[in-house]
Amino acid sequence: MSSRAHWSSRLGFILATAGSAIGLGNIWRFPYLVGQNGGCSFLIVYLCCVFGLGYFMLVGKLSFGRAAKTNIVDGFQTIASQAQKNISPTWGFLGGMLTLLNAIIISGVYVTVIGWTLFYTFESFQNLFFFTKNIHEQTTFNNLISSFEIQLFLGTLCILLTAFIISKGVKKGIERVALYLMPLLFILLVVMLIRILVLPNAEKGIAFFLSPNWAAIGFSSEGIDFKLFSKVLLTAVGQSFYSLSLGMGVMFTYGSYLANTNDLKKDARWIVSLDLMVSILAGLIVLPAVFAFNLEPTTGAGLTFMTLPYVFANMWGGELWAFLFYLLLFIAALTSLISIYEPLTALFIDKLKLTRNKATLLTAFLNICFFVLALLSLTKKIHFQLMGKNLFDAFDWITGSVSLSLTMIVCCLFMGWIGFIPIWRNFRRGSRASRVFRTYLKIVLQFIAPFLLTILILMAFI
């Protein structure tokens, strides 16, 4: 094995990769998307997207990284030459840089939201002893998002913690943290679930989550509402890709630390299943909790930071449950942030010949720049706007609606049309797969994913 870092165990790799996938997307975003898009029917569409598309994209990305065994910027060139195809170095460079730009921009937004979870974790922890914090009041959240200083402090704490873990390396940092935190996350989820399911009226939320309402996704006795269905479908596609951490070089980089003997078909199945399981558990916690108090599940992004604190405040032992829930959210988000740092750090180590410590510092510095910019704009300290939005919302919009999809289109087209043979050959080194699997993977990469992603981008502008 070369001097390139590598995972020390299969379990470590699966947990670290699942740790990247499981994050705010599962616990914050997924329940409100289910709430807004008709409950169980959305879940069914989502399941199809995860197993029909996300899984194959993940297999492609992990194999791409493992075949290239380098950083994301050089990866395109390496695979193109393995495929004996000539591509202009500019294309590889652009693909790689776009991926990294996503990571830098999104990390600014991600850190801000992790800061909020840390805030609620601290406040609810204090409530365990002093009962002095009114975290359920709407003003608490409004005050938080308008305070530059508090958010800066909390975000910086998260950045320092992440940088510390990344500086320890793949085995002693990322993998070790995943080995401790991921089991803790699952224990917390199950404990929370049991508590919520015994709430009176929780069954209404379970019914909402588990019994399909076809009309909500466009199927009714009067026919099919194609517009509504495509909106739901594309929301599910976008969420499944985001949840599987596609589009930022994370899966590529984590794959590049793998030995060729790993069975990627099985490993990807584990990662997808763990990710999905957490989304479903989060839905089963958040929605019944909301229904138990006759609240609306369709409030959107505020569900976690405005609706749930109210639920906890009105629940027996709510201080403890609030603390456990926000701790859970914090752990999930931290392991994702760690993964966003790694592709950048790996690139700086390779390209700028920096030590891991220096490369980590540079990544953290870039993260701080975008975080502070987002924060200054969110708290109205600067009035600079991008497309009529403050920078926090603009960064979120650019990555979520445009650049992540754009990067994925570039990657899929590359994997499907240029690098398919070496990527497939690498995949086959540890896994058995039928011709049907191969053909379907190729069709997903060449046509289906680029097509859906293009529509996703167009929809963002309409």
Cα 294 to Cα 170, 289, 354, distances in angstroms:
46, 9, 55
Which two tokens mark 185? 């996350």
- Residue 162 interacts with ligand PFF (CB under 6 A): yes or no: no
Task: Report the site for ligand PFF in 306-345 (rule: CB under 6 A).
Answer: 336, 339-340
Give the helix/strand (H/E) hosting 224. strand 223-224
**18: nearest Cα among 66, 75, 58, 67:** 58
Nearest distance from residue 379's CB to ligand PFF, in Å?
23
d(CA 327, CA 334): 10
Give the binding range for ligand PFF (CB under 6 A) out of 22-30, 114-122, 131-139, 382-390.
22-30
Strand partners, 220: 223
Q: How many CB atoms lie within 10 A of CB 242?
A: 24
Nearest distance from residue 234's CB to ligand PFF, in Å?
17
Nearest distance from residue 25's CB to ligand PFF, in Å?
2
- Residue 367 interacts with ligand PFF (CB under 6 A): yes or no: no
Nearest distance from residue 131's CB to ligand PFF, in Å?
32
- Residue 279 interacts with ligand PFF (CB under 6 A): yes or no: no
- Residue 243 interacts with ligand PFF (CB under 6 A): yes or no: yes
Which two tokens mark 379? 């708290």
- Residue 24 interacts with ligand PFF (CB under 6 A): yes or no: yes
Task: State CA 306 to chain mean position distance.
Answer: 22
Residue pair 56/445 in contact (Cβ under 8 Å)? The answer is yes
Residue located via tokens 């994997």: 415
**Binding test (CB under 6 A) with ligand PFF, winner from 15, 21, 53, 278:** 21
d(CA 153, CA 160): 11
**Binding test (CB under 6 A) with ligand PFF, winner from 72, 104, 166, 248:** 248
Nearest distance from residue 26's CB to ligand PFF, in Å?
5
Nearest distance from residue 269's CB to ligand PFF, in Å?
17
Give the binding range for ligand PFF (CB under 6 A) out of 89-97, 123-131, 245-253, 284-292.
245-253
- Residue 26 interacts with ligand PFF (CB under 6 A): yes or no: yes
Give CA torsion, residues 404, 405, 411, 412, to 10 deg: 150
DSSP label at residue 416: I
Contact positions vs ligand PFF (CB under 6 A):
20-21, 23-26, 242-243, 245, 248, 250, 336, 339-340
